[in-house]
Amino acid sequence: MNTPRCAMRRMRLVVAIAAGAALGATRAAAQDADPIPVNKDTLYRFPNTIAGEFTPGTGFNIISTKFGSLNVSTYGLFRYLNQLPAGQTFVDHLGQVRQSNLQNSLNWQRTMIWLTGFFYDPRFRYNITGWSLGATQQTLIFGNVQFIASNYFVIGVGIVPTLTARSMQGSWPFWAGSDRLMVEEFFRGGFSSGAFVTGEIAPRLFYTLSVNNNLSQLGQVQANDSRDLAYSGSLRWQPTTGEFGPRNGFGDLEYHTRVATQFGVSGGSSREFRGTPDDQAPVASQVKLSDGINPFDFGALAPGVTVKNLSYHELAIDAGAKYRGFAFQSEFYFRTLNDFVADAPLPLTSIYDRGFMAEMGYMVVPKRLNLDVFGGYVSDQFRRFPWELGGGLNYYPSGTRSWRLNLHVMHVDKSPASSFFGYYLAGQTGTTFSIGTDVLF
């Protein structure tokens, strides 16, 4: 008669011991972590769970009740960009001469407005984002919803990043410059409608998995998409302190007194479709060849031939460290394009490119002025071997990450990245100057 009760007591004892051990490990990890002071402007009350583009600043609380809340936050970037030399041409991998439309421009480059909060249950969170890019006159409204079941399991749906590079997973806008470096811009995927799960599967080890419609939804309506889906995943390990600064971003404005480290691996696979009939320009634009050309453009891989479908497979391995104002970040990339479907035979069956980027910074004036240097290189199928070297300064007038003045100078050779979003256009060989200011509140 007492057997069930004894079994229940033993079960409770086991649960209590396990809970005590878990609590002890959590406390030990907390005591071991670097006591970094948290600035109100850089850590929103809802922690970042997947992408910086979906994480506002502190903002302004408009509504706060036990049934729901509403917070408004904004980001803005103004930038002067000069890509030199003007009037430049380049030769693509097929030997064709092409024009580089290099820019000398002043732009209110980017605007973000977030409406965030919870509904009914604080674990059920929503994020509605307004995004605008002045250089391309694009404006979008998108968002996501998440349910925080536990630290181990968060599930969400909405616009979701493809987890193809570390910069896709929460660090924006805390980068060395206002946009990505050349190599990571070339290899990465984009953002698309999808679903994700994320969490901390072991102390200081985090995972994220996502399923998306494609690599990038920008410019593609559902009617132009295929039935294929994109799959990606990532692991992030922070073994020494359990953190890597606000949003895991670049730079050590917070001044770590213990070495903070971060290691990770990310990868994705997608079957991509050009999205339009052969006689029209493609709407799919995320993937570029190593000469900066869209593989879906007419004649991109062979004269007179149009690629309709291709498969994208990518792997990235990253590592970084921060200590007493020093910061280092690096990432290696491996990408294969294959399974081409075209309207005529192609001279190749696959394209394999690999590359790396590295950046290092130091707070030469604590809390105020950061100096950084960076570089990158691509070892590509077409043996063009694009590379980049540069440096920059970040000045923080308020001593926080909320407001900065940024100078970025880079010399590129045969740029494989091409977008009016960032610093690079296809085939550019020369120097780019960027001067800007951005605010997050």
Q: Is the residue at 11 inside a domain?
A: no
Residues with Cβ within 8 Å of residue 169, at least 6 apart in sequence: 50, 51, 161, 163, 208, 234, 236, 248, 266
Q: How far separated are the first and last CA of the chain, in Å rounded?
A: 64
In this prediction, residue 138 carries a pLDDT of 87
Joined together, the tokens standing for residue 124 give: 């059920």
The radius of gyration of the chain's CA atoms, rounded to the nearest angstrom, is: 23
Residues with Cβ within 8 Å of residue 292, at least 6 apart in sequence: 415, 416, 417, 418, 424, 425, 426, 427
pLDDT tens track for 74-96: 999 999 999 999 989 999 999 99
DSSP H helical ranges for 112-271: 182-187
| Residue 53 confidence class, pLDDT cut points 50, 70, 90 | confident
In this prediction, residue 46 carries a pLDDT of 56
Q: Is the residue at 420 inside a domain?
A: yes
Q: Is the residue at 2 inside a domain?
A: no
Q: Which residue type is seen at 213?
A: N
Joined together, the tokens standing for residue 17 give: 């011991």
Parallel, antiparallel, or unpaired for β 205-212 and 403-413?
unpaired
Query: Which residue(s) pair with 270 in the sheet?
Result: 230, 312
In this prediction, residue 20 carries a pLDDT of 41
* Element of type H or E holding 14: helix 3-32
pLDDT tens track for 130-176: 999 888 888 889 999 999 999 999 999 999 999 999 999 999 999 99
Q: Is the residue at 254 inside a domain?
A: yes
Q: Is the residue at 22 inside a domain?
A: no
CATH of the domain at 91: 2.40.160.10
Joined together, the tokens standing for residue 29 give: 């990890």
Q: With contact defined as beta carbons under 8 Å apart, do 159 and 192 qualify?
A: yes
The mean per-residue pLDDT over the stretch 344-361 comes to 97
| Residue 33 confidence class, pLDDT cut points 50, 70, 90 | very low
**Which whole-number Å values give the CA distances from 120 to 26, 114, 143, 412, in the listed order?**
29, 19, 18, 51
Joined together, the tokens standing for residue 118 give: 């919870």
Q: How far apart are CA 280 and CA 429, in angstroms?
A: 29
Query: Which residue(s) pair with 105 in the sheet?
Result: 81
> Does position 105 have pLDDT exceeding 60, yes or no?
yes
In this prediction, residue 123 carries a pLDDT of 93
**Which whole-number Å values give the CA distances from 19 to 212, 230, 355, in the listed order?**
36, 38, 45
Q: Is the residue at 339 inside a domain?
A: yes
> Does position 409 have pLDDT exceeding 60, yes or no?
yes
Q: How far apart are CA 84 and CA 433, in angstroms?
A: 8
Q: With contact defined as beta carbons under 8 Å apart, do 197 and 154 qualify?
A: yes
In this prediction, residue 48 carries a pLDDT of 59
SS3 8: helix
Joined together, the tokens standing for residue 382 give: 């077409």
pLDDT tens track for 280-296: 999 999 999 999 999 99
The DSSP-derived string for 53-104 is: GG---S-EEEEEETTEEEEEEEEEEEEEEEESSTT-EEE-TTS-EEE----E
Structure letter (DSSP) for residue 39? P
What dihedral do alpha carbons 193, 195, 196, 197 form, nearest 10°? 170
User: Which domain range does residue 109 map to?
Assistant: 37-440
| Residue 427 confidence class, pLDDT cut points 50, 70, 90 | very high
Mean pLDDT (the chain, rounded): 89
Q: Is the residue at 97 inside a domain?
A: yes
* Element of type H or E holding 284: none
> Does position 230 have pLDDT exceeding 90, yes or no?
yes
Percent of the chain at pLDDT above 90? Answer: 80
Overall domain count for the chain: 1
Residues with Cβ within 8 Å of residue 145, at least 6 apart in sequence: 124, 125, 126, 127, 156, 157, 158
Q: Is the residue at 134 inside a domain?
A: yes
Q: How far apart are CA 71 and CA 266, in angstroms?
A: 32
> Which phi and psi (to 5°) does residue 206 adopt?
-120, 145
Q: Which of the pair, 21 or 304, is modelled with greater confidence? A: 304
Q: What is the pTM of this model?
A: 0.88
Strands (E), 343-429: 350-365, 369-379, 387-395, 403-413
